[in-house]
Amino acid sequence: MHTGATGPVARAMHGDILVVTIDNPPVNALGVDVRRGLTATIDAAGADTAVKAVLIVGSGKTFIGGADIREFGKPPMTPFLPDVCNGIEACSKPVIAVIHGAALGGGLEIALAAHYRLALPAAKLGLPEVALGLLPGAGGTQRTPRLIGAAAALDMMLSGRHVGAAEAAKLGLVDRVVDGADPLAAGLAYAQELVQGGAPVRRTRDATQLADTAAQRAAIDSARAETAKKSRGLFSPLKIVDAVQGALELPFDEGQALERKLFLECLDSPQRAGLVHAFFAERETARAPETRSAKPRPIERIGVVGGGTMGAGIAVAVLDAGLPVTMIERDDEALARGRKHVEKVYDGLIAKGRITPEAKNATMARFNGSTSYDALAQADLVIEAVFEDMAVKHAVFAELDRVCKPGAVLATNTSYLDIDEIAAAISRPQDVVGLHFFSPANIMKLLEIVVPAKVADDVVATAFDLAKKLRKVPVRAGVCDGFIGNRILAVYGQAAHAMMEDGASPYQIDKALRDFGYPMGPFQVSDLAGGDIGWATRKRRAPTRDPRARYVQIADRLCERGWFGQKTGRGYYLYPDGARVGTPDPEVEAIIDAERARAGALSGKAPRSFSDAEIVRRYLAAMINEGANVVHQKIALRPLDVDVTFVHGYGFPRYRGGPMQYADTVGLPTILADIREFAKEAPLFWQPSPLLVELVDKGANFASLNQSA
Ligand code: 3H9
């Protein structure tokens, strides 16, 4: 058995140490072949007298990225991972894991089942199962608390955060950290030292950090209370706490049986399916046809035109990525304000103790400002974030056309204007692309990359490359009013307003959607963003509005009174004394009543009540139907692009995967039947998307379209 391989698991003797190398690109996930290979190798090593110790190493950049996520939801195949881990722990020879890159989920559980753990400085350890709707199911909930105590173990499992090598050593998660980049050399040196020192087999199941039961119980109780408050409808976090309680109260094997039971419950939950969908979808959107066909242009110097909220947020995102930024404003005063906006973000971080004043100064050293476009002569990429007005955009792009070097990427942050028209007005339409950031731009993950007709492929590839550098989640979108997100938002926004006029209060609508999983309802969001923004858009659209279309005027009535939301102390809600959480406003309810009466006099309809379930059905049906239109018209490449847009830009509950994935779980025939039912009263608004009808006719779902682009 000394050399050879069982599938992706290779073995080689180095003196009396058996090196077991897992080679399963891209992240050495623990698919069935790896599990089989590991089991066979460890079993044989135990029986082989020539083997004095076993060293487990990962090939490539990572140790092990976890269980193979692609296997979830498929029929399970033996050996199961908990048994593989138990086999490693039971081995009669010392087993050593050497962790160089990621040891995540099942990867860390393999390391915890080993008897000794060595980390290299670039190691990242974590139990991120919670982000997939799961719990560590291969002994992680039992071994981690025994090794590092319940509080630290729960923190890792409930946050899913990655722990670096130094912190891992401090926690007691690894035995030693050594310098170097070669895991094999470092691991062999450590293994030889252990063998020579006669180091015994040392099993984590026997570790004693849970011995002080009173303190451990207190940690578990407080984690349970905190989790119950914070986990907002999520299924797995409380199961994690239950499993750790099992570690405290039960013998190891019984605790592990409890863990298995809870793990399988999580595995079966629709939340796991939604979260795994989101995991793969957001990796998928980072690839577009242009990222395959073209190489990005180099981007080292970035310009931002406009120092308002959006421009400053974009500048911070660029600075945070370690890149220099040049901000252009029309005069010294505006530039000073723009710079202040940027500094304010870092001052906030200093106040929270998240960065030092020195770190702020070092970052701000990469910030330049100018009132002359000539300062952008050397920029590789410029993002325009000025007022949303076509004439203003034309003026900015004419200046960029004049000063920027050939090949510079010229991007607009417009939310809805026609980028083809912006591009057509300059001499280099091939260099113009849309980069639609979401506010606050340094925080929100979504970046819509809007692809006009004449843009060069390598410009699109550059936009995706920038997204990666800024750690954004990019989604490719076609040109239309509102692109993917705001176009769909406009439609389900109308559905919400129609329900409000028909009898549902904004407070009920908000609550129904919070119960669905949104952090805030649409009227709370409107109050936060500022009602004046939507008002300006409605006025802009008024001349082109279909005169037959229903137009609910309640929002206008509030805006006419200057009730724009939080910033004015009242909107749909009241915010007395700068409160951030609003309370219902009887005056708003009176305005709504008056509008209902006015509209009812015209339509002959009386207000009616809505159940929370109907509110959710109508809101989601409008969203899904327009999502289908957006896919049908190729504004979005696939349904999953709509999902990622809504999860990362519009607060859609991630555990539901996104609106299109949610539609698949409800069933497209049900969604279509709802739309047809609603159409009986409002046929103009509720027109079924041709794509939805086609999929229902074929008995297909949205997922069937996710592979195709
Ligand atoms: C678990 O372990 C359960 C157990 O407790 C119990 C079981 C009984 N499986 O992110 P990247 C793919 S749950 C399959 O772009 P990076 C990924 O889809 C698991 N595939 O790279 C992508 O494929 P493609 C707990 C996986 O360098 C490619 O690898 N583990 C897996 O930026 C590159 O990924 C986790 O939740 C996987 N486990 O980051 C860790 N992981 O090229 C999840 C990745 O076709 N993974 N892929 O698009 C990560 O956090 C990051 O991928 C990692 C690398 C940090 C590892």
List, as one string, the DSSP characters of 14-76: ETTEEEEEE--TTTT-B-HHHHHHHHHHHHHHHH-TT-SEEEEEE-TT-SB--B-GGGTTSPP
Taken as a whole, the chain contains a residue count of 709
Distance 27 CA to ligand 1 centre (A): 6
Distance 280 CA to ligand 1 centre (A): 9
Distance 707 CA to ligand 1 centre (A): 19
Contacts of 82 (CB under 8 A, 6+ apart): 137, 138, 139, 256, 259, 260
Supply the residue whose CA is at minimum distance from atom 5 of ligand 1.
136
Distance 70 CA to ligand 1 centre (A): 9
Q: Mean pLDDT score of the chain, rounded to an integer?
A: 96
Is the domain covering 299-477 a CATH 3.40.50.720 domain? yes
Distance 130 CA to ligand 1 centre (A): 13
Q: What is the DSSP string of 246-309?
A: HHHHS-HHHHHHHHHHHHHHHHHSHHHHHHHHHHHHHHHTT--HHHHH-PPPP---EEEE--SH
Question: Which ligand 1 atom is the nearest neighbour of the CA of 137?
Answer: 6
- Give the integer Cα–Cα distance in Å for 493 and 482: 13
Ligand 1, pocket-test mutation among 38, 64, 69, most atoms within 8 A of CB: 69
Assigned token pair, 628: 């289908």
Lowest mean pLDDT: which of 204-208, 320-324, 578-582, 698-702?
Answer: 578-582
Q: What is the DSSP string of 383-450?
A: EE---S-HHHHHHHHHHHHHHSPTT-EEEE--SSS-HHHHHHTSS-GGGEEEEEE-SSTTT--EEEEE
Assigned token pair, 284: 């998928």
What is the per-residue pLDDT for 504? 98
Supply the residue whose CA is at minimum distance from atom 41 of ligand 1.
65
Question: Which ligand 1 atom is the nearest neighbour of the CA of 106?
Answer: 2
Question: Which ligand 1 atom is the nearest neighbour of the CA of 109?
Answer: 5
Q: Is the pLDDT of residue 519 over 70?
A: yes
Instruction: Single out the catalytic residue among 129, 329, 384, 595.
Output: 129
Contacts of 340 (CB under 8 A, 6+ apart): none
The three state secondary structure string of 103-132 is EECHHHHHHHHCCEEEECCCCEEECHHHHH
Distance 171 CA to ligand 1 centre (A): 24
Distance 282 CA to ligand 1 centre (A): 12
C-beta separation of 126 from 168 below 8 A: no
Q: HSE, CB side, 13 Å, CA atoms: give it for residue 487.
A: 25
For the chain, the domains span: 4-268, 299-477, 505-608
pLDDT tens for 660-677 read: 999 999 999 999 999 999
What is the per-residue pLDDT for 2? 61
pLDDT tens for 628-642 read: 999 999 999 999 999
Supply the residue whose CA is at minimum distance from atom 47 of ligand 1.
27
For ligand 1, which residues put their CB under 6 angstroms from it?
A: 26-27, 29, 62, 65-70, 81, 102, 104-106, 109, 128-129, 132, 134, 136-138, 140, 280, 283
Q: Residue 583: beta bridge partners?
A: 574
- 129 is a catalytic site residue: yes
What is the per-residue pLDDT for 704? 96
Is the domain covering 4-268 a CATH 1.10.3720.10 domain? no
- The residue with greater pLDDT, 123 or 538, is 123
- Give mean pLDDT, residues 355-372: 97
Supply the residue whose CA is at minimum distance from atom 10 of ligand 1.
283
Distance 229 CA to ligand 1 centre (A): 29
- Give the integer Cα–Cα distance in Å for 615 and 138: 41
Contacts of 605 (CB under 8 A, 6+ apart): 502, 599
C-beta separation of 585 from 557 below 8 A: no
C-beta separation of 588 from 572 below 8 A: yes
Distances (CA, A) of 318 to 201, 384, 469, 639: 50, 14, 8, 29
- Give mean pLDDT, residues 1-29: 91
Q: Is the pLDDT of residue 172 over 80?
A: yes
Question: Which ligand 1 atom is the nearest neighbour of the CA of 284?
Answer: 48
Supply the residue whose CA is at minimum distance from atom 33 of ligand 1.
26
In the chain, the N- to C-terminal Cα span, in Å, equals 46
Angle formed by the axes of helices 522-529 and 485-502, nearest 10°: 120
Distance 644 CA to ligand 1 centre (A): 18
Share of the chain above pLDDT 70, in %: 99
Ligand 1, pocket-test mutation among 27, 262, 292, most atoms within 8 A of CB: 27
Closest alpha carbon to 11 in 69, 66, 50: 50
Burial of 596-613, coded b for 16+ CB within 10 Å and e otherwise, reads: beebeeeeeeeeeebeee
Supply the residue whose CA is at minimum distance from atom 7 of ligand 1.
137
The secondary structure of residue 583, as a DSSP letter, is: E
Instruction: Single out the catalytic residue among 109, 259, 284, 384.
Output: 109
What is the per-residue pLDDT for 709? 56
Contacts of 59 (CB under 8 A, 6+ apart): 21, 22, 23, 24, 25, 28
Supply the residue whose CA is at minimum distance from atom 27 of ligand 1.
27
- Give the integer Cα–Cα distance in Å for 309 and 483: 21
Closest alpha carbon to 127 in 116, 118, 140, 117: 140
- DSSP SS3 for 198: coil
C-alpha R_g of the chain: 28
Confidence band, pLDDT 50/70/90 cuts, at residue 388: confident
Handedness of CA 385, 391, 396, 398 (dihedral sign): positive
Q: What is the largest CA-CA distance in the chain?
A: 92
Assigned token pair, 237: 């976090």
Question: Which ligand 1 atom is the nearest neighbour of the CA of 136?
Answer: 5
- 595 is a catalytic site residue: no
What is the per-residue pLDDT for 708? 55
Supply the CATH classification number for the domain 505-608: 1.10.1040.50
Q: Is the pLDDT of residue 1 over 80?
A: no
Q: Is the pLDDT of residue 206 over 80?
A: yes
- Give the integer Cα–Cα distance in Å for 494 and 34: 52
The three state secondary structure string of 132-191 is HCCCCCCCHHHHHHHHHCHHHHHHHHHHCCCEEHHHHHHHCCCCEECCCCCHHHHHHHHH
- Give mean pLDDT, residues 441-448: 96
Task: Compute how many other C-beta atoms are within 10 angstroms of the C-beta atom of residue 490.
Answer: 18
Contacts of 175 (CB under 8 A, 6+ apart): 116, 117, 118, 169
Edge-first strand order for the sheet with 409-412 is: 367-370, 325-328, 302-305, 381-384, 409-412, 432-437, 446-451, 473-478
Distance 72 CA to ligand 1 centre (A): 13
Question: Which ligand 1 atom is the nearest neighbour of the CA of 104?
Answer: 30
Residue labelled with tokens 């033996």: 78
Supply the residue whose CA is at minimum distance from atom 40 of ligand 1.
65
pLDDT tens for 249-279 read: 999 999 999 999 999 999 999 999 999 999 9
- Give the integer Cα–Cα distance in Å for 1 and 687: 67
Supply the residue whose CA is at minimum distance from atom 51 of ligand 1.
65
Question: Which ligand 1 atom is the nearest neighbour of the CA of 279?
Answer: 18
Supply the residue whose CA is at minimum distance from atom 4 of ligand 1.
106
The secondary structure of residue 235, as a DSSP letter, is: S
- Give the integer Cα–Cα distance in Å for 595 and 597: 5
Distances (CA, A) of 602 to 12, 191, 550, 565, 596: 84, 84, 12, 29, 10
- Give mean pLDDT, residues 334-361: 96
C-beta separation of 530 from 575 below 8 A: no
Confidence band, pLDDT 50/70/90 cuts, at residue 579: confident
